[in-house]
Amino acid sequence: MKLAGLRVLDLTLFLPGPYLTLALADHGAEVIKIEPPGEGDPTRHLGLSDGASTVYFRNLNRGKKSVVLDLKSATGRDALLGLAESADVFVESFRPGVVERLGVGYEQLSARNPRLVYCSISAFGSSAPYRDRPAHDLAVEALSGVLSMNVGRDGNPAIPGVPIADLLCALQGLAGILMALLRRERTGRGQRVETSLLQGVVALQSGLVVDYPGRKPVPRDNPTYRLYCAGDGGWFFLACGNQSFWLKLCELLGRPDLAQDPRFGSWMDRIEHHDLLHPILTVAFATKPRDEWLRLLAARDIPAARVQTLAEFMRDPAVAHHRLVVTYEHPEVGELTLMGLPISFSETPGRDAGPPPTLGQHTGEILTELGYPDTAIADLTARGIVGPKRKE
């Protein structure tokens, strides 16, 4: 495994941090998920559940170890500091300033372990003007301009179907950690890596953000790059953005006049005259069933795709080919379905890392490794400082 022998301490909740550390776990790293006493990571109780864990939690935390520590207590903090001495990577997603108040900030941990790669992820960054604001994915998308460009047919901002800012932040953080680990191989020293939801979504707009006076947002309502409803009521996406695809489409529709019309001569011309072109294409695509249009478009190498439900996509041959969904037996619920790995390697493939941990499942194991006797672990568990929530 590519990351075998790498120990990761995961002090993150919800989506960005767990998604980041999931990639490390999938490729061999030992990821120790530090959860607060009581209910643990809130995603254990968020969304659909089949009794063992929520779909949300298990898809983000498969193959990790769960240790419950009360970091507000001296004992819990000392246990974490001890763990940090043997860790390679530390990932936290608290609001800026919290880890320092808990005594587990970068300066404290790097003094004990100079090789540690310490990653902080937050909404706006530790030194940003909005660092103290509470915020999640959509708030950052709103602030950054993403929602202003993601508009519905009524011209109003629409909520994307996936949490773009969260996922981009996770991927940026993952890239930063891997680069820092590579540098450590060369220098022997770790460093702090920091990224935020805001930084990720701004980087996403690299082809759109241009800073000059008077710039106006480019309209995105391109009639040759949008959804259409076919004659049988099935929807498909037409991606006919460049000139060669446009000319092929005009030929397919039997409309050479559209190709010669100067109002539709370029990509920007077609956007500017959307109100003229869109009705023409809408009427044309209503004359045949969706699968017929997809066959005709594919025959001319024009990009298009049917709009599928998630259930339909799960039956798509591409899902099975890439093993994007995997199943195995779980002792509590029987067959368990998880999302698969999104990257393929020719020599070092990822692994089926196993089910997500129960809350605090590995607390005793890890504390024993740190030298805590069984009696001390039992006492700390009874007092609610370590381990899962006690049953009354």
Q: Which residues are designated catalytic?
A: 166
Pick from 78, 105, 85: nearest CA to 94: 105
CB 176 within 8 A of CB 193: yes
Helical spans, DSSP H, in the chain: 16-26, 55-61, 74-84, 98-102, 106-112, 137-144, 146-149, 164-187, 197-204, 243-252, 256-260, 267-272, 274-285, 290-299, 310-314, 317-322, 363-369, 374-382
Angstrom distance (rounded) from CA 58 to CA 357: 8
Question: Which residues 6+ apart lie within 8 Å of 270 measured at CB?
Answer: 222, 223, 224, 246, 264, 277
Question: Which residues 6+ apart lie within 8 Å of 327 measured at CB?
Answer: 335, 336, 337, 338
Q: In the block, which residue shows the tokens 């890596």?
A: 193
Beta bridge partners of 304: 238
DSSP state for residue 94 in the 8-state scheme? P
- What is residue 30's three-state secondary structure? strand
Q: What share of the chain is helix, strand, coil (3-state, %, to 5)?
A: 40, 15, 45
